[in-house]
Amino acid sequence: MTATPDVTSVGIVGGSLAGLFHAVALTGLGLDVDVWERSTGRPDDRGAGIVLQPGVAWFLREFCGVDPDRVSVPVTHRQFFTGDGNVRIMPMRQRMISWGTIYQALRDVLPAERYHDGQPVTALVPSAAGATVHVGEAARAVDLAIIADGSASRHRGLVTPDGAPRYAGYVAYRGVVDEADLPKELVARFDDRFSFWDGDRSQFLCYFIPGDFGTTATGRRRMNWVWYTRADRPELARVTTDRNGTRHGLSLPPGLLAPQVRTDLLARARSTLPPPLCHLVEHTAEPFVQAILDARATRMRNHRILLTGDAAFVVRPHTAASTEKAAADAITLFQALRQAPSADTALQTWERLRLAEGTAIHDQGVGLGRRLGLDGPDAAAAADGRTGKEP
């Protein structure tokens, strides 16, 4: 397969899922692709559980040679815990995967020498022929540059005047527990189910995901839970300040939750959650926290520089569509470059399609958050187009 003749080299800023989807797809077109990633080694399994959507499944099969059914956990029903202690069940087939499983599948097919970890891109400079990627003292000219440096993107301003993330007014407490560490009756309660509970301006959900190395064998899976709850700015600052007093701002990785925040979380779980869900929180050794953000780009392309993944749109996790969106950015680019007569035509088409979809998913996520009563005042102002404070 070949791309348009006026693009042969590609530089990607950020080597998480969005960066890797693009790297693998464009390598598949025969392009000369390099990825620069700031962190060293394997990044944290931040997203933990991910609902496997069709585009990601297709990508795994077509580009990674991985059977998505082998590395994901099926559920056949949704179950809704109700206030009176009952459970309502409805059929709904889905598959659940983990961030780490997708990441590993992508890394396995990308030539190792093309992934430059521990190398932050310090500047990206547009040029008539493409862009120059600067990594410290080194500089590399490429025909096409792709910004995939996530929600806190430092390079987004090269492409879009807006799109800086805003705090939506609530956080997700998250937890991952080895199935082997859960009592058998609790496993039975959640097996084959995508479970939900809606509370007062609060929502809890959980499902099983693969364990190490993508294993889906019963007994070796992991339980993944997410608990959305309102948090004003002082509370956000409190829960993301770690056990040593260091402020992390918008998230707190596993293992660092301050003892008092953990005590408060357990107390709230015991007083509000249905018992099986509360037990999951109690069995979680290292809960972690992520602020929910909104970000919406109004442009995704500046000549030969593209903005993708969370750097372009941060969508609410209720849509279960962020990873799918990142994969679709890459698949659409692959198709556009393969079919269009010139790179400029391909990139124009790509931007039109991806802006429309990103905007739709973003707005859908804001609507879902509002319907659950989770939004804070700044988020409402932002969604209405009025000025909201940045996080």
Does residue 13 belong to the site contacting ligand FAD (CB under 6 A)? Answer: yes
Rg (CA), the chain: 21
Candidate residues 320, 337, 343, 379; the one interacting with ligand FAD per rule CB under 6 A: 320
326 near ligand FAD (CB under 6 A):
yes
Please say which residue, 269 or 292, places its beta carbon nearer to ligand FAD. 292
> Whole-number minimum distance, CB 72 to ligand FAD, in Å?
13
Instruction: Return d(Cα 7, Cα 228) in angstroms, integer.
Output: 44
Residues 46-105 that bind ligand FAD (CB under 6 A): 47, 50-51, 99
Applying CB under 6 A, does 149 fall inside the site for ligand FAD? yes
Name which of 45 and 282 has its Cβ closer to ligand FAD. Answer: 45
With CB under 6 A as the rule, give the number of residues binding ligand FAD: 34
In the numeric block, the tokens 């050794």 are attached to 285
Q: Is 168 in the site for ligand FAD (CB under 6 A)?
A: no
Q: In angstroms, give the least distance from the CB of 38 to ligand FAD.
A: 4
Question: Binding residue for ligand FAD (CB under 6 A) from 36, 207, 225, 288?
Answer: 36
Q: Quick one: which of 14, 30, 93, 95 has its CA closest to 324?
A: 95
**Distance separating alpha carbons of residues 139 and 173, to the nearest angstrom:** 40
Strand ranges inside 149-201, DSSP E: 166-178, 193-199
The residue from 310, 351, 375, 378 that contacts ligand FAD (CB under 6 A) is 310
Q: Which stretch binds ligand FAD (CB under 6 A): 1-9, 36-44, 235-243, 352-360?
A: 36-44
**Beta-carbon neighbour count of residue 123 at 10 Å?**
14
Residue 172 found at the interface with ligand FAD (CB under 6 A): yes
CB of 16 within 8 A of CB of 149? no
Are 248 and 242 spatial neighbours (Cβ–Cβ below 8 Å)? yes
CA angle, 324 then 325 then 327, to 5°: 65
Cβ pair 269, 277 in contact under 8 A: yes
Least distance from ligand FAD to the Cβ atom of residue 324, Å: 6
For the chain, first and last CA: distance in Å? 44
- Contact segment (CB under 6 A) with ligand FAD among 71-79, 149-157, 273-281, 294-302 equals 149-157
Compute how many other C-beta atoms are within 10 angstroms of the C-beta atom of residue 338.
Answer: 16
Q: Give the nearer residue to ligand FAD in terms of CB position, either 34 or 324.
A: 324
Part of the chain binding ligand FAD (CB under 6 A), chosen from 33-41, 60-68, 267-275, 365-373: 33-41
Q: Does 195 bind ligand FAD (CB under 6 A)?
A: no
Q: Residue 56's beta-bridge partner residues?
A: none
State the sign of the Cα–Cα–Cα–Cα dihedral 229, 234, 236, 242: negative
- Quick one: 19 or 211, whose CB is closer to ligand FAD? 19
Q: Which stretch binds ligand FAD (CB under 6 A): 150-158, 207-215, 268-276, 373-381?
A: 150-158
Among positions 55, 68, 150, 211, the unique one binding ligand FAD when judged by CB under 6 A? 150
Per CB under 6 A, 294 contacts ligand FAD: no
Q: How many CA atoms lie within 13 A of 373 on its CB side?
A: 6
Residue 373 interacting with ligand FAD (CB under 6 A): no
Is residue 317 within the footprint of ligand FAD (CB under 6 A)? yes
- What dihedral do alpha carbons 210, 211, 215, 217 form, nearest 10°? -90
Cβ atoms of 159 and 306 closer than 8 Å: yes
- Nearest to 321, CA basis, from 357, 371, 375: 357
What are the residues binding ligand FAD (CB under 6 A)? 13-19, 36-39, 43, 47, 50-51, 99, 120-121, 148-151, 154, 172, 290, 309-311, 317, 320, 322-324, 326
